[in-house]
């Protein structure tokens, strides 16, 4: 074996050793912060609406079995906080559902008003009222009587308005 082969072998072994050490460091849990008076209490649940937080025994005491009764109390407090959170989320979800339904109704009303405006823009001023009455669902005789036009004119306006609505629906689809 030459000197060159020996050097490359040592470099390869050194690279493997460094890789193993890096893997070991990556798997270690982060060190716990040390306080002068012992371990700080863990914070189990985020503060609720009243602003109080649940503090429990230090983690090392629970891990060593020193505070066994505190653990069940901690779990009970945590469950209570979770139930409050779930209740709050449910009420918020219900409010959002009501708001969504209200907004849908408003959109439908606005679409109907917009359709009426579009129809009024496309009709001569003489027949605008007749078209609006067609949209309200009146028959040709009632339209003729209210607008002072003949029944044939009212029937023509009605058929044109209904055809325009059908074309508008096809264009949207």
| 24 within some domain | no
The answer on pLDDT for 17 being more than 90 is yes
In this predicted model, what pLDDT tens digit does every residue of 131-163 receive, in sequence order?
888 888 899 999 999 888 999 999 998 888 888
**Which residue, of 45, 71, 101, is where some domain finishes?**
101
| 74 within some domain | yes
User: Which pLDDT value is given to residue 127?
Assistant: 79
| 109 within some domain | no
**Which residue, of 101, 132, 153, is where some domain finishes?**
101
Per the structure, the complete domain to which residue 166 belongs is given by 123-173
Percent of all residues in the chain with a pLDDT value above 70, rounded to a whole number: 69
Q: Which two tokens stand for residue 26?
A: 């990556």
| 25 within some domain | no
**Which residue, of 66, 101, 136, is where some domain finishes?**
101
Mean pLDDT in residue range 65-80: 82
User: Which pLDDT value is given to residue 142?
Assistant: 92
The tally of domains found in the chain comes to 2
**Lowest pLDDT segment from 36-45, 94-103, 120-129:** 36-45
| 8 within some domain | no
| 87 within some domain | yes
Mean pLDDT in residue range 99-127: 82
* Gap between the Cα atoms of 160 and 166, Å rounded: 10
| 140 within some domain | yes
CB 45 within 8 A of CB 54: yes
**Lowest pLDDT segment from 45-54, 75-84, 86-95, 115-124:** 45-54
Q: Mark whether 143 and 91 lie in a shared domain.
A: no
Chain-wide mean pLDDT for the chain?
78
| 139 within some domain | yes
Strand partners, 58: 41
Helices (H) and strands (E) in the chain, counts: 6, 2
């Amino acid at each position: 074996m030459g000197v060159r082969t020996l050097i490359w072998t040592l470099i390869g072994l050194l690279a493997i050793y460094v890789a193993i050490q890096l893997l070991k460091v990556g798997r270690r849990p982060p060190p716990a912060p040390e306080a002068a008076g012992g371990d700080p209490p863990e914070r189990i649940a985020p503060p609720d609406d009243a602003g109080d937080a649940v503090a429990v025994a230090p983690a090392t005491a629970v891990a060593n079995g020193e505070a066994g009764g505190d653990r069940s109390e901690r779990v009970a407090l945590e469950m209570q906080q979770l139930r409050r959170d779930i209740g709050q989320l449910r009420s918020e979800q219900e409010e959002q559902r009501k708001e969504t339904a209200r907004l849908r109704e408003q959109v439908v009303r606005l679409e109907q008003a917009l359709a009426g405006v579009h129809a009024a823009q496309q009709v001569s001023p003489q027949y605008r009222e007749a078209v609006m009455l067609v949209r309200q669902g009146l028959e040709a005789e009632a339209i003729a009587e209210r607008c002072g036009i003949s029944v044939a004119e009212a029937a023509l306006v009605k058929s044109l308005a209904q055809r325009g609505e059908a074309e508008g629906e096809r264009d949207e689809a």
